[in-house]
A and B are shown apart, each in its own frame.
Chain A
């Protein structure tokens, strides 16, 4: 056999087997072709046996040619074999027939209370604005709940019809606002200080759709050099943006609280109608959100901070009010009834 004849034989084998491999219909057929081409008595094996009669020169040409063809056919066979192996598995899988629309296993899933949902959102934003979490007792003395906060002795808030009094050795009250944390904190810490105080407060109000003797507030206090009403507006704007998105806007209305001067009511532009007027804002375009102001110099003085050196702002907001608005809960009592049909929605 000449080298030319060898080459031509190679081409013939290549052509024949590539066509056959391509046309193979099963894994078994592929294996038959493997034996037919590459087996001990296979066509290519037979052809290669003839190499031993070639001259060294011819072997150098024919050898690589034969090996390349062997590799080529092996690869084609492997690929076809893999195709049939995968097909076999997929055919098997495709026989599966389960109803995917049946319900899933009830994996445990608990629910945060809606007030916690609201409070967590608010404290998260305040924490990002650098407010440190501070706390104070719920059973409080009048000094920290009223006196230090510049609430005059004969102020109506100190009446039994507004505040709960308890039967302890010293005359104590259930704190009527989270502002007791202000006086507690300022007594112990020097400015700069920047705190939030979320928590429960108590008022002697009968339980009805809009009042509860127990409710939640979040207090904010910032005292440093040169803190102004503009800082309050800036920080509260940032807070409301965190709560309602980048378009949130606030406005101040003058008000009165004993512990701040100037005092303001803070309204936020209605997030439901963008200020156009809707049912939530009672066609007003604005929603009353919280009370705030510049810390009264007497409060600073009472807590041992020099009002000629430092100034501050404070704010207090109701968690229920916000949660009712955001979650469309119409009756404050729903928060304290703990009906799982409501709780499981959050």
Chain B
């Protein structure tokens, strides 16, 4: 909403500077988005004509310009503008002239005295274009004319951000009322000459009283559709409107002034001698001003005459009944339409106007009559004509409900201690009716403030007008209840810190992906959540997996020349199970290049491989009760043979391994060596508690006895098969082991491999005797021989 300072002053006496006013408005919660100065804010600048231009003795680009100020008086100034030419009429500021806040002083420029300045339009504050060059004026202007008289008086346009609960502030009167309460100054309504009505207005029939709470109509016959007067044109231009003609301009002018939208019909086009406010027929077609045809539904409210619809109520007039240049008789409408009714139609057709913006937030139902009287007066003044009587159909007079409260309640909501006198003062100024005589106060808001319905609303008003600085800051006081974090949050943080410790960068990606990625990752779109109003193609679904985004991160980072990437993300993934959304906290990561970000000069670089990734998984997931198993069928986006499932309680909760080169190619990644992992934490959450403290096991007192074991067996026996046999060996002592070496090659027969373990035997209650170790060792050799065909090497 734009407010012109001089227009505002019609309603209230304020002598604040524009900056001071902006501060007051901001403190009231009315945000001032911008301030623009208009008109001439300078003095002592007169029209002069250039009669001689000489070069400056000490400069290549400056000139000495001699001007005729009129009546034969000349003056010489130094000027650097590139566009000076003999014969031009230009604005000449004399020494002592005021340009905005600057007062011109005598100056010596490179050794030559300058007795003033030829001004550019920026220097006069008329533009902010930073264009070079002096302002060249109309050659017909008499010399010596005060240049400020060529422009309007200095004024300020405030661009205000009005919150949706305050439609009353969408007018100059509304802002004046707000300031009136704050500054304790009376608000002056416009002087309206009451026009005695001659003859009847059209009869009005309101069929939908919920949609239209009041309808005021009046005819003015014999108007001349002239140009609006200059003062009105200027004000409308300041509102950002192109003045058209008086009949249209007056309705807009009154709306910006008082806040009530008006509509003027050409009476020639109103048929059947009446006005009907009704809902549209389903499928009814209506063409609004500008030519757009709408197919209406029964929820749309229309203004009609005896035969046809003439306006989309509160939003836009019809193409069939608008004001023409030759319009002679008009019908003026001032009404109150129900906000939701207007809003639905606005939304449905994405059609909006200054008028609908006010109706859909809520206009002042009482103000409609004032607007009608104001408009009639202006019409008759400007366009002449004879006004009819006013037909005011107002079935149910609106009044705000009375709010009862105590001043103590107001202060309790605010936690403040605003004195009762001050509260009384504020409420009395604000209210239509206020009674603060008893312990319980009674407040009734004026009709333009439908937002004041209970004590909380009034607490806000008290705080606004008393100033929010009255809210004290004291010590924090709170009743604190302890509860654990959500498990998914805790686990996500735990995995994030483990991965960061392992050298990963945390990523955050936007949650949307497209069909192409879904296909690539084997996700059935029926099980994905589709966004109905997606912002862009390729952003149609919520991610069922975090990997596509991370792979794209790899792609862009490689493109920008980074390498050796280790990226991860913890976020939610989404599924659509039988029409219901399922959200899962998920951890995913991708790796490419070397384990270390920067190669160390003294050691060979170490590319990430499967075993490094597996080791990472073992470390990161060590506290979760998970196992790994080669994927029976690798997911389509993974290498068919290098893909391992992460299992918990027999359920697959994730996967890790190498990405399929075709997946990478499809996403434009310039390498085929990318590793990935992803798991959902839901199953792990079930067994997790921040308060679960696992009891510590005793640390063995006696050192173990170590033996190496090296066996030869068929190359196709897996490590898992060997350790499974090893684990099942019946032993009387405790055994721990770890793999030292796997060898396959020249020193062994074809198809054979050797596997070497370091075995650690121990007993809880003492040191082992050699004999005990020998027995255990022999049993292990026997077990491996019978179970996996291993021979001692």
Which residues in A have their C-beta under 8 angstroms from that of B413?
228-229, 262, 294, 311
Q: In this assembly, does B611 line the interface, its C-beta being within 8 Å of a C-beta of chain A?
A: no
B554-587 at interface with A (beta carbon < 8 Å): 556-557, 560, 562, 565-567, 571-572, 574, 576, 578-581, 583
In whole angstroms, how far apart are the Cα atoms of A156 and B512 in the complex?
A: 24
Interfacial chain B residues near A193, Cβ < 8 Å: 481
A135-161 CB contacts (< 8 Å) to partner B:
135, 137-139, 153-156, 159-161
Asked if A115 and B478 make an inter-chain contact with CB atoms under 8 angstroms apart, the answer reads no
Q: Which residue on chain B has the smallest CB distance to residue A192?
A: B479
Contact yes or no, A108 B163, CB < 8 A: no
Q: How many residues of A contact B (CB 8 A)?
A: 85
A93 at the interface (CB under 8 A from B): no
Whether B476 and A254, one on each chain, are in contact in the complex, defined by CB atoms closer than 8 angstroms, is no
The answer to whether B29 touches A254, judged by C-beta atoms less than 8 angstroms apart, is: yes
CB interface residues, B 460-492, toward A, < 8 Å: 460, 463-464, 468-469, 471-483, 485-486, 488-489
Closest chain A residue to B533, Cβ basis: A160
Q: Which of A103, A116, A206, A234 has the most CB of B within 10 A?
A: A234
B343 within 8 A of A: yes
Complexed CA–CA distance, A338 and B475 (Å): 41
Given A167-B529, A169-B579, A235-B476: A256 touches B165 (CB 8 Å cut-off): yes
Residues of chain A within 8 A (CB-CB) of B473 are: 230, 233-234, 237
User: Is B542 in contact with chain A by the CB < 8 A criterion?
Assistant: yes
Given A132-B481, A212-B510, A339-B556, the answer on whether A108 and B468 have CB atoms closer than 8 Å is no
Contact of A109 among B481, B503, B533 (CB under 8 A): B503
Interface stretch, picked from B236-244, B373-381, B595-603, is B595-603
User: Is B343 in contact with A154, judged by CB distance below 8 angstroms?
Assistant: yes
Asked if A338 and B508 make an inter-chain contact with CB atoms under 8 angstroms apart, the answer reads yes
Of all chain B residues, the one with the shortest Cβ separation from A311 is: B413
Contact status of A139 and B542, CB under 8 A, knowing A194-B478, A194-B479, A253-B27: yes
Separation in Å of the A286 CB from the closest CB of chain B? Answer: 10
A336 is an interface residue with CB less than 8 A from chain B: yes
Q: Say if the beta carbon of A112 comes within 8 Å of chain B.
A: yes
- Assuming the A-B contacts A154-B340, A224-B479, are A106 and B533 also in contact, with contact meaning beta carbons closer than 8 angstroms in the complex? no
Chain A residues whose C-beta falls within 8 Å of the C-beta of B481 in the assembled complex: 132, 192-194
Judge if A20 is at the interface, Cβ distance under 8 Å: no
Q: Is A102 in the interface zone, CB < 8 Å from B?
A: yes
Task: Name the one of B468, B474, B542, B603 contacting A251, with C-beta atoms under 8 angstroms.
Answer: B468
Interface flags for A100-115 (1: CB within 8 Å of B; 0: not) read 0011011011111101
Residue of A nearest to B342 (CB): A154
Interface contact A235-B478, CB-CB below 8 Å: yes
Q: At the interface, yes or no: B618 with Cβ under 8 Å from chain A?
A: no
Q: Is B398 part of the binding interface, using a Cβ–Cβ cutoff of 8 Å?
A: no
Asked if B572 and A164 sit within 8 Å, CB to CB, the answer is no
Give the interface segment out of B148-156, B195-203, B322-330, B494-502: B494-502
Query: In the complex, are the beta carbons of B478 and A165 less than 8 A apart?
Result: no
Query: For window 159-176 of chain B, which residues contact chain A by CB distance below 8 Å?
Result: 163-166
Q: Is the CB of A254 within 8 A of B468?
A: yes
Distance (Å) between the CB of B203 and the closest chain A CB? 32
* Set of chain A residues within 8 Å of B574, measured between Cβ atoms: 138-139
Q: Which listed residue (A213, A254, A261) contacts B512, Cβ 8 A?
A: A213
A229 x B562 contact (CB < 8 A): no
Contact call A261/B511, Cβ cutoff below 8 A = no
Closest to A228 in B: B415
A234 CB to nearest B CB, Å: 5
Chain A at the B interface: SS class? mixed
Which of A132, A166, A205, A207 is close to B483, meaning CB atoms less than 8 Å apart?
A132
A344 close to B (CB within 8 Å): yes
Q: How far does the Cβ of B352 sit from chain A's closest Cβ, in whole Å?
A: 11
A202 to B510, CA, bound (A): 10
Cα–Cα distance between A200 and B510 once the two chains are bound (Å): 10
User: Which parts of A171-227 form the interface with B (CB within 8 Å)?
Assistant: 172, 174, 192-194, 200, 202, 204-207, 212-214, 222, 224, 226
Q: Which of B56-64, B91-99, B186-194, B451-459 contacts A (4 or more CB under 8 A)?
A: B451-459
**A134 interfacial by beta-carbon distance below 8 Å:** yes
The 8 Å CB contact of A165, one of B457, B533, B579, is B533
Complex contact B557–A111 (CB within 8 A)? no
Of the candidates A110, A130, A207, A251, which one forms a contact with B566 in the assembled complex, judged by CB atoms under 8 Å apart? A110
Measured between C-beta atoms, what is the minimum distance from A209 to chain B in Å?
15
Interface: B412 (CB within 8 A) = yes
Residues of chain A lying within 8 A (CB to CB) of residue B539: 213
Give the Cβ gap from B454 to chain A, nearest Cβ, in Å.
7
Q: Which of A110, A222, A344 meets B499, CB within 8 Å?
A: A110
CB pair B601–A103 under 8 Å, yes or no, is yes
Instruction: Give which listed residue, A160, A170, A192, A229, contacts B471 with CB less than 8 A.
Output: A229
| Cα of A340 to Cα of B558 in the assembled complex, Å | 10
B431 within 8 A of partner (CB): no
Q: B506: which of A106, A112, A251 is its contact (CB, 8 Å)?
A: A112
Q: For residue B343, which residues in chain A have a CB less than 8 angstroms away from its CB?
A: 154
Chain A residues within 8 Å of B464, by CB? 254, 262
- Is A294 touching B459 in the complex (CB atoms < 8 A)? yes
Bound complex: CA A256 to CA B27 (Å) = 13
Flag if B508 contacts A335 (CB, 8 Å).
Answer: yes
Whether the Cβ atoms of A116 and B532 lie closer than 8 Å is no
Task: Flag if A262 contacts B477 (CB, 8 Å).
Answer: no
**Binary contact track A250-268/B, C-beta < 8 Å → 1, others 0:** 0111111000011111000
Residues from chain B with Cβ under 8 Å of A204 in the complex: 533, 535
Contacts of A213 in B (CB 8 A): 510, 512, 535, 539
Contact indicator A135/B504 (Cβ below 8 Å): no
Q: Closest approach, in angstroms, between the C-beta of B453 and any C-beta of chain A?
A: 10
Q: Which of A110, A130, A139 is in CB contact (< 8 Å) with B504?
A: A110
What distance in Å separates the Cβ of A251 from its nearest Cβ neighbour in chain B? 7
Contact B26 A116 (CB under 8 A): no
CA of A338 to CA of B414 in the docked complex: distance in angstroms?
44
Smallest CB gap from B566: residue in A: A110
Given contacts A169-B578, A343-B507, contact A154 B532 (CB under 8 A): no
B346 (CB) vs chain A CBs: closest residue: A154
Q: Which residues of B contact A29 (CB under 8 A)?
A: none
State whether A338 and B29 are in contact (beta carbons under 8 Å apart), knowing that A106-B600, A153-B340, A230-B471 are contacts in the complex: no
| A115-B508, A169-B579 known; A106-B460 Cβ under 8 A | no
- 11 A-B residue pairings within 8 Å (CB atoms): A109-B503, A116-B496, A164-B532, A168-B579, A194-B478, A200-B511, A224-B478, A228-B414, A230-B414, A262-B413, A262-B459
Q: Which 9 A-B pairs have the closest CB atoms?
A: A230-B415, A169-B579, A254-B29, A228-B415, A262-B460, A108-B503, A110-B500, A130-B480, A256-B163
Extra contacts, 20 of them, besides A194-B481, A228-B413 (Cβ < 8 A), are: A106-B596, A106-B600, A108-B596, A110-B504, A113-B508, A164-B533, A166-B532, A170-B580, A200-B571, A202-B511, A207-B535, A230-B416, A231-B477, A231-B478, A254-B460, A256-B164, A261-B456, A262-B459, A294-B459, A338-B508
